[in-house]
Structure 1
Amino acid sequence: MKIETNTYDFIGENYENAISWMREIGVKISSGRTQNYLKVMNHWRRNYKSSSDKIAKDIFPDFVNSTSEIDSFIKIYKAFKNVPTENLSLIKAKLQKGVNGPLNAEDEKPKTSEARNFIFEALVAAKFHNPKQNLSTILSTSSDTAIKFENKNIFIECKRVTSEKNLENNIRKASNQLDQHLSKKVGKKLNLGNKGLVALDFSKILHSGDQLLVKPNDAELLDSVEKITKSFINKYTGLWNKIYETKNKRIIGTLVYFSTMATSEERNLLVNVSDWGVNPKISTSTYNNNLLKRIATILNNIET
């Protein structure tokens, strides 16, 4: 994991490219949240150096939230921009649903959280799409997303955790969905080589979109984010392992994701920092454990 140090102009240009690409693959962009983020970003990048302290303070929360939201769209764009459009129907569908929803994540209600849920599914797909590392996203799947690695298909069900009280229910739903996928037959046979992962985004239960994680320098910032991920895994690994005991044995572990806006004070730069953690199921085989370790090593070296 490393801290990206792109300028606001560079981020804005990448986001404009992401919006253009989404339109090219058939996503209809309305005057909703995606356009609002671009408006906020363009205003900030033109005026932040000359704005009065009061104006800067007034628009800063919107800018922080917009920059946080923009990051996901840029990562999805970068992962799939060279994939032929005809292969992106599932990603297009997720993005089409994902461009809706309230402007700020903190304003989500149960009935309006669907948009960001689909963006998380597309983000997981983007993170795993690295064919050069023999790790690639399966772009035609009935699960939220799926990957192929070392000739193994791994189904992934994704859940954004919006409150701690919903965590157990989220894990059970994902596990039940994986049960269904892993129990499907191809012809008359089960593919016993297929595996399953539960992916959890726990960002919202720790930080709302306009909050900042502030640390004195890059090293402390990176260390803090890694500790947050490890702490979440240590706190809840018992919960999801207990649930997995009654599910398909080919569910092999949990993928966790945390993202937040942050500032490294030594550089006085607003950045998005994120971390991915892989937690093998306690009772999984040595083979599966090592498989996930190899995947984790690749994930930690991918910039998206």
Structure 2
Amino acid sequence: MLTFLKLGGSLITDKRIAETPRLDVIERLAAEIAEARRADPLLRLVIGHGSGSFGHVYGRKYGTREGVHDAAGWYGFAATGDAAARLNRIVTAALLAAKIPAWSIQPGAALRCADGRIVRGMEETVALALARGLTPVVYGDVALDDVRGGTIVSTEEIFDHLIDALQPQRVVLAGEVDGIFTCDPLLDPQAQRIAEITPETFDAVADGLGRSHGVDVTGGMRAKVLHALAMVQRHPTLEIIVCSGMAPGRVGGALSGQEAGTRIAMQVRGRRVST
């Protein structure tokens, strides 16, 4: 089975303190991923991660997501990319230490965008890496843009582009909390976890998705859910799992198909999907 796994920026860094990786979390997640691969030799992974308190801090300061138009903006573009790459080296090193054949692929060197949307990607490189037994590692990065000059592309947007060519069966989005909630559970103890979200049920839960903690220049939780729904609408048999990476064993379980967090799909679990 081909699975895309995203390690969220709020999971692997402290997003409130600039350039602060959670090394213990990163190392534990690497061990869980390695165990899942050993348990299922047919499991193939594309791993992506957010930029957390690395790239997002610079991206917000310089407004890189909205566009780059002058020398100061291009400095910010370069600084954002450099920060994102620094975190990527930490994540890749942990995966390699866990004996995973992790190969970092710099998105910004291959991606081209037009007004914030990817128009050319790196699907051939990722596919060839998988065919050779490697585990590609991608991450949210800066990219050149024909309209904006430069922009920031999130890991979810990279996954969104890659699924058309690679056709994964499952996408696991691991964050700081265990799924999608009616409001931010870190701010409101009355928040309730939403077991499943489909295109039909999104409107009923959308109002609670606007508030998230920390700094995120790629749109927050609402944007991430909308991207996930766009993926399953194009690929009706795909399921996307949003779960916690803070709870030991949760990511490993999600990779093995165990129920966890919030499931995003075209239809609720157990119903037949028309294709």
Q: Which has the larger radius of gyration?
A: 1
Q: Structure 2-normalised TM-score?
A: 0.30
TM-score normalised by structure 1 residue count? 0.28
Query: Per chain length, whose mean CA-contact separation is higher, i.e. which structure has more relative contact order (CA < 8 Å, sep 6+)?
Result: 2
Considering fraction of residues, name the structure with more helix: 1
